[in-house]
Amino acid sequence: MSAPVLSVRGLEVDFAGSGRPVPVIRGVDLDVHPNEILCIVGESGSGKSVTALAATGLLPPTARVRGRVVLDGTDVTGAPPEVLRRLRGEAVGFIFQDPTTTLNPVLPVGRQITEGQVAHGRLRQADAPARAAELLGEVEIADPEGRARQYPHQFSGGMRQRAVIAMAMAGRPRLIIADEPTTALDVTVQAQVLDLLRRRQAETGAAIVLITHDLGVVAEVADRVAVMYGGRIVETGPVDALFARPRHPYTTALLESLPRLDTRGGRLDPIPGQPPLPGALPAGCSFHPRCRLAAGRPRCAAEEPALRPVGAAAAGQAAACHFAEENPRPKPPATVAEAAASAAAAAPLLQIEGLKVHFPLRSRVLRLTRGHVRAVDGVSLTVRAGETVSLVGESGCGKTTTGRAVMGLVPVTGGDIRFEGRSVVGLRRLAMRGVRRHMQYVFQDPFSSLNPVLPVEDVVAEPLRIHGLYDSFGGARYIARLFEMVGLSPTMFGRYPREFSGGQKQRIGIARALALKPRLVILDEPVAALDVSIQAQILNLLQDLQRELGLGYLFIAHNLSVVRQISDRVAVMYLGRVVEESDSDTLYEAPAHPYTQSLLSAVPVPEPAGRTGRGRIVLTGEIPNPAAPPGGCTFHPRCFRATDRCRAEAPAFRPHPGLPSRVACHHAGPPGTGASAERTEEAAP
């Protein structure tokens, strides 16, 4: 094997804040070879991003770095700034998470792509525009010459990330560091960008270090994987071996706690507890308080295990666990035959019919209405007691607005919303208040949905106080019961929201939503901001509560795996409309709408075996501006089955023959059938 492009030995990083230094990286060794994709995967606080920044000397001055990092033959640690600077421009390229902030808003994109090369004297200023256009062309941006002269705000999110890739590739670097490069992108755009990244890597032979929290992305692109926990690599190995036979209990637990697209599970198997904070690591093996194998063994609590080879030498796997040999294979994802029971029989709790929410676009000066954003443009849906109905779609599809319209938080333009048979559209405030008692909302971001100046006890009690029911519901005793119901201790009463972790905050948010004993709960991306291991805990809690209390859930999410895990019925939204609706199994196993099909095929599956054979529909383009949706079927510009009819005529939302689904498509049908004679890897533009 050729010499590694990047070689890290004994890397340690402390952040010296105002108090004592916090160890963030505690001894990391890794090698990255040319033409290889190494994925570093871990939860928040595991130190994965810091590792990559430290390897290139990009950490802020408050960080203390020890160890040895050799990058492209140059020792980085202790290298003078000038050497590091040259190295960064020539040997390494970077792709960061959020393409909206990575690019400088006031400089043309083309200039930003090439300026590094110009600064290093590797490109003449006169040749820069041509080179920028060439690079943009290589990342498949149409009209590269014109685009190079534009500013970042004129690019869509996916195009910006392409431009960032072009920038990273500008110096033909031997190593590319990509820090969560697709986390900020929608799933169909993520598929495009990952695909592009992999192809550009293969063409240039560069090595890539890709940092992610998403095991699906790892399985899609990695050659080798390093799993980080508590500032160390706890397991490393080739991607196939690591997914098939993980050697560290954390890796196993992570895989088991993951909701999956390909199987319908009953309950997830979450990792108990929370990922440790770098400032407060447990002694010994930092995973032992959450570990199945540790189970009170004194050695785990006393001695930090070294990363050592485990299993067959040829497999190349290593794990940092005293008892790695005992680590079991991950349980095959359980497929529970669902007793699709009472739900269908129950009376409908919530009925949405033809809901429309249009926001006026006003001119800035005279506030004249210039047009409308059709945020929601015809959504029909029914939720029954004890049932979970999910609204799924990419950003801007109108799923959150639908939820807010149900709560009466945004004005309804057209259609009807009925709660227990009574229309709630246009209710006056007091009447709406009566209805709101029975409908509650759980927010996406647990960090912003709790009032920071109230102790958590008052946060949970607030809805009761607003409705004047605090005493009649049992006062502090009732609040304590709610706390226990969501798995929190009432001893935490006097604390403030910021003293809690994300998962705990979301539990508080759920307790608050349950305080008024609602019958319907609208869950707006309740687990999107949480780490994988915490996500499973919350999903289980939600399922338990639903069973106990007979709640109806309207579950709003973009993550198709999570949706599959929890839903009885699923509705897929695109540009303000439901394009397909069915029971969960049918929708996932026999999707009829081309958008559903491409959405499902774009989701990275945590199963590296057979990733090459997976026929994937990669959609071109991105979601159009909802203020000016395309005519006819709004999906037609991106659809691989689009015909002239689609361009002219909007399809009706109607039952699909042979399936318990309703679909809005002229050419609906299972993948590879019907009008889709040309089932393609690449969709037609």
Site residues (vs another protein, CB under 8 A) = 56, 58, 84-90, 92-94, 96, 98, 101-107, 112, 115-116, 119-120, 151, 153, 164, 167, 359-362, 364-367, 373, 375, 401, 404, 407, 409, 429, 432-433, 436-437, 440-441, 443-445, 448-453, 455, 462-463, 466-467, 494, 496, 512, 516
Nearer to another protein, 13 or 375 (CB): 375
CA pair distance 402, 339, nearest whole angstrom = 29
Nearer to another protein, 266 or 360 (CB): 360
The CB-of-629 to another protein minimum distance in angstroms stands at 15
Nearer to another protein, 88 or 662 (CB): 88
Nearer to another protein, 432 or 485 (CB): 432
The CB-of-421 to another protein minimum distance in angstroms stands at 20
Burial (Cβ within 10 Å: 0-12, 13-18, ≥19) of residue 424: buried
The CB-of-406 to another protein minimum distance in angstroms stands at 10
Q: 348 and 382 in contact (C-beta within 8 Å)?
A: yes
The CB-of-496 to another protein minimum distance in angstroms stands at 8
Q: What φ, ψ does residue 427 adopt, rounded to 5°?
A: -65, 145
The CB-of-133 to another protein minimum distance in angstroms stands at 18
For strand 224-229 and strand 37-41, is the pairing parallel, antiparallel, or unpaired? parallel
Nearer to another protein, 102 or 317 (CB): 102
The CB-of-40 to another protein minimum distance in angstroms stands at 17
CA pair distance 406, 58, nearest whole angstrom = 47
The CB-of-181 to another protein minimum distance in angstroms stands at 13
What is the chain's length?
A: 685
Nearer to another protein, 229 or 443 (CB): 443
Nearer to another protein, 9 or 467 (CB): 467
The CB-of-443 to another protein minimum distance in angstroms stands at 4
CA pair distance 151, 237, nearest whole angstrom = 42
User: Which residues, in sequence order, are CB contacts of 495 under 8 Å at separation 6+?
Assistant: 455, 456
How far apart, in Å, are the Cα atoms of 69 and each of 13, 35, 76, 220? 12, 19, 5, 28
The CB-of-160 to another protein minimum distance in angstroms stands at 12
The CB-of-390 to another protein minimum distance in angstroms stands at 20
Nearer to another protein, 116 or 608 (CB): 116
Nearer to another protein, 160 or 641 (CB): 160
The CB-of-373 to another protein minimum distance in angstroms stands at 6
Question: Which tokens in the block code for residue 452?
Answer: 């920071």
Question: Which tokens in the block code for residue 95?
Answer: 């792709």
What secondary structure does DSSP assign to 437-476, as a single string? Answer: TTEEEE-S-TTTSS-TTS-HHHHHHHHHHHTT-TTTTTHH
Q: What own/partner pairs with CB < 8 Å and gap ≥ 24 does 545-548 have?
A: 545/485, 545/486, 545/510, 545/514, 546/386, 546/388, 547/386
Give me the helices (H) in 274-419, please: 298-302, 399-406
Question: Which tokens in the block code for residue 157?
Answer: 């999110």
CA pair distance 98, 103, nearest whole angstrom = 9
Nearer to another protein, 255 or 515 (CB): 515
Distance of CA 362 to the CA centre of its chain: 33
SS (H, E, C) 233-286: EEEEEEHHHHHHCCCCHHHHHHHHCCCCCCCCCCCCCCCCCCCCCCCCCCCCCC
User: Which residues, in sequence order, are CB contacts of 458 under 8 Å at separation 6+?
Assistant: none
Secondary-structure breakdown of the chain: helix, strand, coil percentages, each rounded to the nearest 5? 35, 20, 45
Nearer to another protein, 2 or 489 (CB): 489
